[in-house]
Structure 1
Amino acid sequence: MMKIHRTRVLAVALSAASLFGCGGGGSSTSLAGLGSGAAGSTGSAGSAGGESLVTVAGTGSPTDTAALPVKTAAPPPATPVEAFTKQSLTGYVNPFVGTADATKPASDPVPAGARGGTFPGATTPFGMVQWTPMTPSNGGTDHPVGYIYKEKTIIGFPLTQMSGSGCDGNEGELPVMPTFDTASVGPGAQENFDHKDEEASPGYYKVTLKDGVTTELTATSRTGFGRFTYPAQSALDSTRKTPYLVIDATRTNTIASTTGAIQLEGKDGLSGSTVGGNFCGARTYKLYFYAKFDREITATIKGGKANVSFATGSKPAVMMKIGLSYVSSDNARKNLEKESPGWSFDTVRTAASDAWNDRLNAIQTRGGTQTERRKFYTALYHALLSPNINSDVTGDYIGFDQAVHQVQDGRTQYVNFSNWDIYRSLMPLTGMLFPREASDMMQSLVNDADQCGAIPRWAPVNSDQGIMPGDSGVPTVAGAYAFGATNFDAKKALGYMTLVGNKADLRCTGSGLRDDANRMGDYLTRGYAAKDNGWWAGSLTFEFATADFATSQMAKALGDTTNHRLFLSRSANWKNQFNTDRKQLLPRFRDGSWMFDPTANADMVEGNAEQYTWMSAYDARGLIGLVGGNAAVVTRLDAFFQDLNAGMNKPNFYVGNEPSFATPWLYNWTGTPWRTQKVVRDVINTVFFDDAGGLPGNDDLGAVSSWYVWAAMGLYPEIQSVGGLTIGSPVFDQVVIRWADGAKKLTLDASGAGTNAPYIQSLKLDGQAIDMPWVWLADLKKESTLGFALGTGESQWGKDSAARMPSFGLDGFDSLDAALSNRGIGVDGQATDRSLEGYTFDMGGWSYSAKALAAAGATPGGTVSFNGIDFTWPDGKAGLDNMVVQGQTLSFAKPQAAGTLALLGSATVASTAPTGKLTVTYTDGTSQGFDLRFDDWTLGGGGGKVGAYNKVALTTDHRVDKSGKADTTKAFVFYWDAGLDKQRMVKSVTLPFQTDNGAVMHVFAMTLK
C-alpha cells in the first residue's frame, strides 16, 4: 500500500515466504506453508525458529529511501476467495480500535475494563518489540497507562507494551521522544498532537507533533526502527532550535522512577538497560537495549536518561534502530545486527506489513460489509499480538529462576501468558491457525515449570504473578493441544498438570502460595473451595474444576487412563456449589452453609453468581438438568441476554469479560440453536465497532478480540480442552481457514449470509446433512466444506439434537468399577506418586493401609461378606480403588429385581455424617429416593460413634500417610443399605451430587440383592 518514490529501495533479504511459511509481496503468492514458521537455528549467529521473525537486509550504509508516508488507504473491495491466493488484508485493520472507552460500555466494568486498552504502535505478530505512543493517565484516573485515545499529549514512545492488560506494570519500558525542549519531555508535557496528524497500520505508526517533528515507527520481532523527521535546517536556524531525541531508562508506563543506565557506543550508538515490570505487583526484570543512529550523535547522559542531539542539515529524517533483549546489551546488539542490518526504513516497514498480511491470510473472507471486514481483521490482528517472543536470536532467554537458558534448537521462548483470559478462546484459535508457534508457546510454559515448579497461572515477563483464581495455565496448555499445537513435551506438561491438581501448596517463582494453601486444600478435601478463604473464593471451585477437566482430557489424549478418570471425576466438583433452592452457583462455607448474596468482584472474581452459573460448559447437560431442564434454561437465558454487556453486578451477559464468553452457545444444548445464532449476531452487530471505542472491555492480550473472530466465523470452542466446535452462523458469504500444512483448508460457505440473516436453515459437512450444532475438529482438518443455508427467519434446524451434543458429566457408567475415581489405599512404607496428597483417600495426605485392610478381610479383587451380602472389593488395577460420590449414574446393562441396595463406603472431612440424595430408577420410569449417609472414616480420629444408618463392615488398626508412614488411628469401612421394591426392575442408581454439610462420601463396593 505504501508507494516507494526512489530507486534505491533495498530488497527484503528473507521474503515473507521463508519467514512465515507463506508468500511474500504479490497478491497471487502461494500460501503453501502458512503457519509453519521459520526453520531457524541456534548459536551465535542463529535464530530460534517458529516465530514471527522479520529480518531485512540493506546496503550497510545509513541511507534512507525517503518514501513519502501516506495515510492508510481505504480497504480494497471484497474479492472472491481463490485457493491459495493471498489477499491484501492489512487495509482492513484499524489499530486504534480499543484505545477509547467502549462505544457500548458496561454499566460497571471490571477494573481497567472501560476501554480495550490496546495500542496503535508498530509491532509484528507475537513480537518482543511493540513500539507505541504513550499518553498520560488522565490525571492518574485511567489505568493501566498506555495509549488513551481521549488524551492529546504523547509523553513518549516506549518500546514495549501489553495489549489490553488489566494492571499497571503493563511494560511500557524505554520511552523515546523527539523534541526541541528536553525539559518538557515526560508526564508533565503539554498537549502536543492531534489525531488528524497520526495514522497506524499493521507494523507501522506515524504522528506529526505540533512542534513539527514527524515520528514514524516500524519493527521486526526483536528490534524497532524509528524515523524522526525534523523541520528543515533553515527553520531550526531561524528559531535557534536544537533537535533532540530523549531516551529515558528511568521511567516506564507506570513506574515513575526506576533504575536505568545508558552509555555511548562509539560515535553513533547507545546501549543500556532499564528495570521494568511490576505487573500487578509481580517482581521486576531488567530490559537491555542497543541502539544505532544513521549519523554521529552527541549525548548528554545523566542518571539513566540520554538527551541525544545530531546534525540534521542534509538529512532531516533521523533514523534510529534499536534492539531489545532481556539477557544483555550484547544480545540486544546481536538481535539488531541479525534482524535489521540495513538502513531502509521502508523495507522494514514493508516486511512488517507483509508479515501481518501473511498471518491475516490464515482466514480469508468473502462478502459481508466493509465494516464487518474491518471489525473481523482488526480482531484477528489484536488476537495475534501475544504471547510475545522472549528469546534472542542466539537462543538465550532469562528463565523463571532468573538464570540464562538456551531455548531448544528450532524453538522460540515466549512470555506474557494471560492464561485466565486466553484459555477460553484465544489459545484454541492460535493452536488451530498457527500450531508451530502455539507449540513453542506451550513448550515455553513447560520450560517455565521446569524452572519454577509449576505451570504459571498469569505470567508476565519471567515471573508468575499468580493473579486471578484457579490454575488457568492448565486449560491453556490442554486447549492449545486439543486444537493442534502438539509439538511440545506434552507428557511432561501432563506431569505438571497432575502435580498442580494434587498439591495444596505448590509454588511458582517464590512469589507466594497459589491462591493460598487453604484454598486448594479445601478444594481437594471437600470438593469445593470454601468462602471462609475470603476474597474471590466463591469462584475458585469453578476454575479449579475447569483445570481438572483440562487435565482429564490431556491424560486421555496421552493414554493415561488413571488420571483421565480421576480428574474427570473432580471436574464435577462445580456441582458442590450449585444451590438447588436458588438453582444458582453460589459461594459455600466449610460447614456446608451458603452465601446467598455474594458481592460481585469480591466473593466471585469479576462477576456475579448468575454469570458464574453458566460457566460449566463442559458438563452442559448436567448443568441444564440441575437448573430444571431445557425449557427452564431457555427462559432464564432469554432474561440473561436482555443486556449484552452488563458489567460485573447485573445478572446479565457481559461480553467484555471472559467468564461469560461461552454462555451464548449454551442454547445449542437446549434444542434451540436459533437462539444462539440470534444472540451472537446481536452481540456482533451492537457491541463491537470499528472505531476507537470498538471493544466492549479490556482486550486482555487478545482474549476479547479472539471471541469476536470465532463468533464472526460462526464457530466457537465451547468445551475447554476438547477439539470440537459448536456452531453459530457466519457473518460472511464465505470463510476459508487455511490449515498450517498449507495443503488443505476448511471452507465455510454461507448462502444467504447477511447482517440480519443469522438463522441456519440447513447445514452440510462435505455434502452430507448434519442436524446438530457441533463438529469435531478432526473432521474438519482435511479438505472440508461446511455449507450453511442462512435466512432472516427462525428455523427449527437442530431442535432435536440436544441429547446428542457432547457433554462430559458423570452419567455414562455401566458399573461401579468403571466409575472408580480415587486412590484410597496406600502401601505401608511406600510413598504415593510424588508424595502428593491428591493421590490419597482423604486428598489431604492420609489413606487406608492395604496391609491393614487385608488383615480385616479386604484384598484386591476379593470378596467381602457382611450382613449376608457379598461385595466385590476393587482390584485397583486401574490405579483407582474407590469412587468419590459426585452424582454418578450407574446404569445396569441387564436390569434386575432386588430387595436391597447395599454399599460399602465412608466419608472424609466429616465432623458429622453427611447426607446426600441417592436415587434408584426403575425400568418402568419410576424412581425411589434415599438419604445416603456415611460416617467419617476414622470416626473423627476415634472420638465419634457409628450412627444408626451405618454398620461397621471393616476395621483396620492403622492408616498410612502420603509418604507411606503408618500411625495408630483406626480406619473403618461402613455398610449402608436401602430396601427396594422387588416387583420392579432396577435400571440405574444415581449417587448424590453434593452433601448437606460439605463433607465427601466415598464408595468402595455396591451390590443389589
Structure 2
Amino acid sequence: MKKTTLLLQAAVLGLMLAGCKPASDTEPLMDKVQYVDPFIGTGFHGHTFPGATRPNALVQLSPDTHLLGWEASSGYHYDDDHIYGFSHTHLSGTGIGDLGDVALLPYSGEDSIKPVATFKKETEKATPGYYAVRLDNFGINVELTTTDRVGFHKYTYDNPKERRVMLDLGHILQANWGHKVVGNSYMFVNDSTVEGTVKTQGWAHFHSVSYRITFSEPIETVYQYLDGKLRQDSLFLRVNTDKDLKFHYKFPEKDQPLYVKVGISTVDPEGAEKNLQAELSGWDFDKTREESFKIWNKALNLIQIESSDPKVLVNFYTALYHTMISPYVYQDVDGRYLGMDKQIHTAEPGYVNYSVFSLWDTFRALHPLMTIIKPELAADWGEVMIQGYKEGGILPKWPLASSYTGCMVGYPAMSILADLIAKDLAKGDMNLWTEAATRSSVYRPDLAEKFKGTRELDLITKHSYYKEKYGFIPADSVPESVSWGLEMAYYDWCISQIAKKAGNTDLANEYAQKAEYYKRYLDPETKLMRGVMGDGSFRTPFNPHYSSHMKSDYTEGNAFQWSFFAPHDMDNFITAIGGKKELEMRLDTLFTTSSEIDGEEASADITGLIGQYAHGNEPSHHIAYLYNWTDSPWKGQEYLDYIMREFYTNDPGGIIGNEDCGQMSAWYVMSALGFYQVCPGIPEYTLGRPMVDHAVIHVKGGKFEITVINNTPANKYVKEVKLNGKLLEKPFISHNDIVNGGKLEFIMSNTH
C-alpha cells in the first residue's frame, strides 16, 4: 500500500499528543516545561535518564555513565562523573537494562581505543527535549536534542585542531547480565555519512537497530578498531562482523561547532535515511530544540495545576513528563516495523506500532491516566496488544523491541483490554480480543517449543498449567505461587469482562469463577495470603516478613505486601476476611508493624517502607486507598500525604524505587489530583488527599476542574467533597464524571 511520509508524520505526532487539547488552539499555553527536572529519578534506584527525547518517541538520546550492574538499567546514574558515550535508545526506570544503541563520543587528543569523558555535575543541564554537558578532560561542550526518530548532536571544541568523534558500535549496557553484540554491519556512504545495523541479545533476545549518521562536514581521517585492534588496510567502506567495532573520525581544523544527525530505524538503514530526511532535513539545532519545547509544553498542558508549594509543581510536572517517555513508537515514517514474529510489517492506515510496555507495572496507574488525558493513544495501545497476538500467537508481556521478555507476573495485558472496554475505548473485533485473552491465559506447550533456547521462553511458565489443573498453584512446584495466583485471578476476571463484551456468556461465567481462586490463598489463622502446598496445606514455617528474590512464594515482596490484592472483588474479599472492621485492622497492622525485612536474599525492590507497606514497588500502590472501604478513610489520607511528601522529592533520589516506565510517576499524578483507580476494568476512581490547590484536566467533554479549599500541609484530611455542586456521600467518582467534564471540589481540614 502507498502512504505519504507527510501523512504518517502528522498521524504519529497527532497520536503522541492524542486525546485532548488545552481549552482552545488559540489559548496561550502556560510554560509547564520550566517545572520539569529530568534529573529527578536518576539517583537512588529510580533508574531514569536525563537525556533528550519527545513524547513517546523512538529516539531517547542520553549520556551513558553506568554500563554494568543494576544501576546501569537506564545507562545513567546521578552519582557518576564519567561518560562512555551518548547513545540513542534507553529504558526509563526499569529494573533490568538493555538498549544503549549507537553511541557517539566527541573527544580531543586522546590516544585510546575507547576514550572516556569526565564531567562536573554543575555543567550538566537537562530540560524536556534538551541535554547539555561539558566534557572537562576533552574541552568540549556537548548539546543534544531530538525529533521522534532522529538524534541531533552539537559539539563545540575548545581546540579546533582536535575535533574527533568515536562511533562505538560495541557499546552496550549490562554486559555482565548477558547483554552482547551479535552482529554489526557498517557502510561508509560518503565522506560525511555512514550507516549500518547493530544486532544484540540481552533482555530482548532479538534486537536490531539500524542507523544513518550524517556529519555537518566531511571526515578528514578514519580509524577503525575491530575487536580492539586498529585495522591497517585502506578505506573501510563495508564491514560485517559479530565482533566489537569502533570508528574514530577526525575532522578538519575549524573554529566552529560540529553537528551530527543520527536517524534510527526499527527495520533497515534505508528506513533510517527516510526517518532522517522526513524529520530533520536541515541543520538548525536551535529550531529543533524549540520545536521539542513546544511539543513537550503542549503535552504537559493537558493537565494545568496550581499550587502554593513550588515543590508540588516540580514533582507533578516531572512526574507527568515521566509518564510520557514510554511506550514509544516502534515504527518508521513509511509505516514499516519489525513485528513480534520477527518479520517486517507495513502498518495499515491509522495503526501505529509501539514497544516497551511494562505492563505488570503500568496497568495500575499509567494506562488509567492515559484513558483520561490521551484516550485515543490509550485505545491505540490496546490495538498494539491485539496486533502482537496476531503476529506472535500470544498477547505481549513486557514486549521490548520485537521480543517478548516474559517479565513479571501473569498476563497483565488483560487489564489494559478490560479497562478500555469498561471506558468505551475498545476498538476492533471483540471475538478476536476474547480469543487472544483466553489463549494467553493457559499454558502453551506449542510456544514453549517455539521459544526454546531464547529469552522469550520466560513467557511460558507452569503457573497457568497448575492454576487450570488444580485451581491453585502449588508452592512446592514453582516459585512466586501466591503472587501469580492472586494476579491471575484478577486477570481472569478481566477476561470475563472481555468475553462478556463479545457476548460469550458461558466463557464469561467460566472466567468469573476462576476470578475467585484468590480465596484459596487466604489463611484465616494468620489473616494473610499464604503459599499452598501440593497436598492442600499452607506452607510452614511461615514468616510474613520473609523475602527471597525470585525464590519465595511472593514476587518482589512478602506476605504483608501481597495480602491485599483482590481489586476486582473487594466486597466479597472484605466479607471473606470478616468485614470492613477487620480490613481496617489488617491495614493498620500493615502500616504500623516493624519495617524489618527478613531473608539473606530479600528483594532489593522492597523500598519506601511504612511498616511493611512498600511504595517503591507496584504491589503496594493501591493499598492506602483501601481505607475508603472502611469507616476510617482519614487514615488513608494520612498515609497518602506522607507518601507524596516523603517519597517524591525535588532531587535526583526523588523517586523511592524503580520508576518502571512511568508507573511510579503516574501514581503521583493521579494521587496529587486526588483520585486513583484501584481496579482497572471497573470505571471508578476512589478519592484521596489531593496535593494541588487547583487543576484543570482537558478531557473529551471539555474541562474537568479540581478545586481544593483550605489546602495546607496541616490540612491533610478531607472534610467533604462536592461533584458538580452536589455533596458526595461516598469517596468514589466514575470515569464518565471526569471525561464528560465538570467540577470536583475538596474541602480540607486539620481534623478527621
Give the alignment's TM-score, normalised by structure 1. 0.66
Letter in 2 for 1:87: M
- State the match for 1:288 in structure 2: 210
Letter in 1 for 2:519: K
Letter in 1 for 2:218: E
Residue 84 of structure 1 and its aligned partner are, at CA, apart by: 5.5
Secondary structure of the 2:87 match is coil
Residue 513 of structure 1 and its aligned partner are, at CA, apart by: 5.5
- State the match for 1:616 in structure 2: 566
Secondary structure of the 2:399 match is coil
Return the alpha-carbon distance in structure 2 between the equivalents of residues 538 and 733 of structure 1: 41
Of 56, 66, 79 in structure 2, the residue corresponding to residue 126 of structure 1 is 56
Residue 500 of structure 1 and its aligned partner are, at CA, apart by: 2.0
Return the alpha-carbon distance in structure 1 between the equivalents of residues 133 and 158 of structure 2: 14
Secondary structure of the 2:515 match is helix
Letter in 1 for 2:623: T
Secondary structure of the 2:592 match is coil
Of 718, 728, 735 in structure 2, the residue corresponding to residue 760 of structure 1 is 718
Return the alpha-carbon distance in structure 2 between the equivalents of residues 431 and 95 of structure 1: 24
Contact 2:180-2:200 within 8 A present in 1 as well? no
The equivalences for 1:166-315 within 5 A come to 166-168=95-97, 170-181=98-109, 183-184=111-112, 186=114, 189=116, 192-210=118-136, 211-231=138-158, 233=160, 236=161, 242-255=162-175, 258=181, 259-279=183-203, 282-298=204-220, 299-303=222-226, 304-314=245-255
Secondary structure of the 2:672 match is helix
Q: State yes or no: 1:442 paired with 2:400.
A: no
The equivalences for 1:735-750 within 5 A come to 735-739=695-699, 741=700, 744-750=702-708
Return the alpha-carbon distance in structure 1 between the equivalents of residues 650 and 2 of structure 2: 40
- State the match for 1:633 in structure 2: 583
Return the alpha-carbon distance in structure 2 between the equivalents of residues 301 and 437 of structure 1: 44
Name stretches of at least 5 consecutive residues in structure 2 with no aligned partner.
17-22, 227-244, 597-604
Return the alpha-carbon distance in structure 2 between the equivalents of residues 301 and 421 of structure 1: 43
Return the alpha-carbon distance in structure 1 between the equivalents of residues 715 and 458 of structure 2: 47
Contact 1:93-1:377 within 8 A present in 2 as well? yes
Contact 2:397-2:459 within 8 A present in 1 as well? no
Output one character per residue of 1:433-465: Cα deviation in whole Å (capped at 9) or x when no partner. Answer: 112222222211211111111101111111111
The equivalences for 1:28-47 within 5 A come to 42-43=3-4, 46-47=7-8
Q: Which protein has the larger Cα radius of gyration, Structure 1 or Structure 2?
A: 1
Residue 479 of structure 1 and its aligned partner are, at CA, apart by: 3.0
Which segments of structure 1 move beyond 6 Å, counting only runs of 4 or more? 80-83, 643-646
Of 511, 516, 522 in structure 2, the residue corresponding to residue 567 of structure 1 is 511
Output one character per residue of 1:577-624: Cα deviation in whole Å (capped at 9) or x when no partner. Answer: 111111110111121011142652322110101111011122222222
Residue 477 of structure 1 and its aligned partner are, at CA, apart by: 2.7
Of 297, 301, 307 in structure 2, the residue corresponding to residue 361 of structure 1 is 301
How much identity, in percent, do the aligned residues show? 27
Letter in 1 for 2:132: K
Return the alpha-carbon distance in structure 2 between the equivalents of residues 140 and 709 of structure 1: 30
Contact 1:677-1:728 within 8 A present in 2 as well? yes
Residue 669 of structure 1 and its aligned partner are, at CA, apart by: 0.6
Q: State yes or no: 1:684 paired with 2:644.
A: yes
Output one character per residue of 1:601-651: Cα deviation in whole Å (capped at 9) or x when no partner. Answer: 322110101111011122222222233322222222123223899863986
Of 261, 286, 289 in structure 2, the residue corresponding to residue 321 of structure 1 is 261
Secondary structure of the 1:149 match is coil
Report how many residues are paired.
702
Letter in 1 for 2:172: T
Pick which of 404-413 and 195-204 moved more: 404-413
The equivalences for 1:506-655 within 5 A come to 507=447, 510=451, 511=454, 516=460, 518-596=462-540, 597=542, 599-600=546-547, 601=549, 602-603=551-552, 604-642=554-592, 648=606, 652-655=612-615
Contact 1:49-1:410 within 8 A present in 2 as well? no
Letter in 2 for 1:436: E
Of 731, 736, 743 in structure 2, the residue corresponding to residue 785 of structure 1 is 743
Output one character per residue of 1:760-793: Cα deviation in whole Å (capped at 9) or x when no partner. Answer: 1111111111111111112322221111111221
Secondary structure of the 1:548 match is helix
Letter in 2 for 1:248: D
Return the alpha-carbon distance in structure 2 between the equivalents of residues 355 and 323 of structure 1: 19
Output one character per residue of 1:809-831: Cα deviation in whole Å (capped at 9) or x when no partner. Answer: xxxxxxxxxxxxxxxxxxxxxxx
- State the match for 1:848 in structure 2: none
Secondary structure of the 1:641 match is helix
Letter in 2 for 1:249: L
Secondary structure of the 1:224 match is strand
Contact 2:212-2:272 within 8 A present in 1 as well? yes
Secondary structure of the 1:531 match is coil
Give the alignment's TM-score, normalised by structure 2. 0.88
Return the alpha-carbon distance in structure 2 between the equivalents of residues 440 and 762 of structure 1: 37
- State the match for 2:403 in structure 1: 463
Q: State yes or no: 1:423 paired with 2:363.
A: yes
Which structure's relative contact order is higher, taking Cα pairs within 8 Å and 6+ residues apart?
2
Return the alpha-carbon distance in structure 1 between the equivalents of residues 594 and 539 of structure 2: 26
Residue 284 of structure 1 and its aligned partner are, at CA, apart by: 2.8
- State the match for 2:235 in structure 1: none
Residue 182 of structure 1 and its aligned partner are, at CA, apart by: 5.2
Contact 1:263-1:301 within 8 A present in 2 as well? no
Residue 521 of structure 1 and its aligned partner are, at CA, apart by: 1.7
Letter in 1 for 2:3: T
Contact 2:146-2:152 within 8 A present in 1 as well? yes
Return the alpha-carbon distance in structure 2 between the equivalents of residues 183 and 392 of structure 1: 38
- State the match for 2:30 in structure 1: 87
Q: State yes or no: 1:667 paired with 2:627.
A: yes
Contact 1:729-1:758 within 8 A present in 2 as well? yes
Letter in 2 for 1:737: I
Contact 2:135-2:141 within 8 A present in 1 as well? yes
Letter in 1 for 2:254: G
Return the alpha-carbon distance in structure 2 between the equivalents of residues 145 and 768 of structure 1: 47
Name stretches of at least 5 consecutive residues in structure 1 with no aligned partner.
1-39, 56-79, 102-114, 237-241, 795-1009
CA gap of 1:54–1:267, structure 2 versus 1, over 3 A, is farther
Residue 525 of structure 1 and its aligned partner are, at CA, apart by: 2.2
Contact 1:166-1:698 within 8 A present in 2 as well? yes
Residue 355 of structure 1 and its aligned partner are, at CA, apart by: 1.1
Contact 2:362-2:663 within 8 A present in 1 as well? yes
CA gap of 1:289–1:616, structure 2 versus 1, over 3 A, is same
- State the match for 1:1001 in structure 2: none
Pick which of 498-507 and 685-694 moved more: 498-507
The equivalences for 1:799-878 within 5 A come to none
- State the match for 1:711 in structure 2: 671
Contact 2:188-2:194 within 8 A present in 1 as well? yes
Contact 1:420-1:472 within 8 A present in 2 as well? yes
Contact 1:42-1:393 within 8 A present in 2 as well? no
Residue 311 of structure 1 and its aligned partner are, at CA, apart by: 2.4
Of 71, 76, 81 in structure 2, the residue corresponding to residue 152 of structure 1 is 81
- State the match for 2:240 in structure 1: none
Pick which of 379-388 and 592-601 moved more: 592-601
Contact 1:48-1:409 within 8 A present in 2 as well? no
Secondary structure of the 1:498 match is helix
Residue 745 of structure 1 and its aligned partner are, at CA, apart by: 1.5
Letter in 2 for 1:152: D
Contact 1:546-1:571 within 8 A present in 2 as well? yes
